[in-house]
Amino acid sequence: MAGSFRLALTVSLVEEARGGPFVYHGDFSHACREAERMGYDGIEIFAPSSEWFATHDVQNKVAGHGLRVAAIGSGAGWLTRKLSLSSSNDEIRKEAVAFVSGLIDAGAAIKAPVIIGSMQGRAENGEDVSAVRGRLVESLIPLAKRSADAGLPLLYEPLNRYETNLINRLSDGIHMLAGVANVKLLADLFHMNIEEVDIAASIREAGAAVGHVHFADSNRRAVGAGHLFAAPIVEALNSIEYEGWLSAEVLPLPSESEAARLSVASHRRLFPA
């Protein structure tokens, strides 16, 4: 293990996401080889759909490289199909739930939870935000139950204001999800740098509600390549006895391999074994 917290490398397998905040893109086998070579513990997959898992022997592939699947991103549902769990259109919302349900079933086979990020949608055209949040919660309830049946949490990610106007901070996520069992928050340090007054304090206040962390700097590059003050964040994660994954959801800059290397170096420096 690279440090006291498990570190995952991110790989996108969605062509429309090329140039997005993923260390590797397009070649799952290559990403696994690089993750093993650089000392990662696992890999986070941004997959096009649940069907992708049916045609790739993911469990044996990652295990063959001494890795685990940290989580599965669901954002391709929005990116490629414009599906939203909070849509005012009942059919779109139903299709969005089905899309995520398929990923949950795929994740169950490899013990990997699913992330709800951009699939949460946003309030548009003057919609009442509380009503949109209500539709989102209605969609999350059966998905959280499906995840619970698989023995896994559902991961919900507050996004920054430029990506959604529903939930931007951890505390808002806790409030919205108060009546939904089996949902953990994903603390993305890039989004938190924009929205939180104090990242470390927000993590401490969220406590056991934090179930996953996206390990990225203020500019969405590898930690250490921006102006994020990481030491208090490390202390906060230690104080809540966090035992989950840190996933390097970062831009492939200055190159894929260098972004991967820098993330490992920062992880080892901040979380020494």
What separation in angstroms does the CA of 35 have from each of 9, 40, 244?
6, 5, 18
How far apart are the C-alpha atoms of 94 and 200, rounded to whole Å?
37
How far apart are the C-alpha atoms of 43 and 88, rounded to whole Å?
34
User: Which residues does residue 217 pair with via DSSP β-bridges, in sequence order?
Assistant: none
Contact 248, 260 (CB under 8 A): yes
Q: Is 157 considered catalytic here?
A: yes
Task: Write down the catalytic residue from 44, 157, 195, 256.
Answer: 157
Task: Write down the catalytic residue from 44, 195, 196, 249.
Answer: 249
Structure tokens at 170: 């951890």
Instruction: Go through the chain and tell me how many residues it has.
Output: 273
Q: Is 16 considered catalytic here?
A: no
In the chain, beta strands by DSSP E? 6-12, 24-25, 42-46, 68-73, 114-116, 154-156, 183-188, 210-214, 245-248
What is the three-class DSSP state of 185?
strand
Please confirm whether the linkage preceding 254 is cis (ω < 30° from 0). yes
Which residue in 49, 54, 66 sits closest to 9, CA to CA? 66
Angle ∠(13,7,64) on CA atoms, nearest 5: 65
Catalytic residues: 157, 249
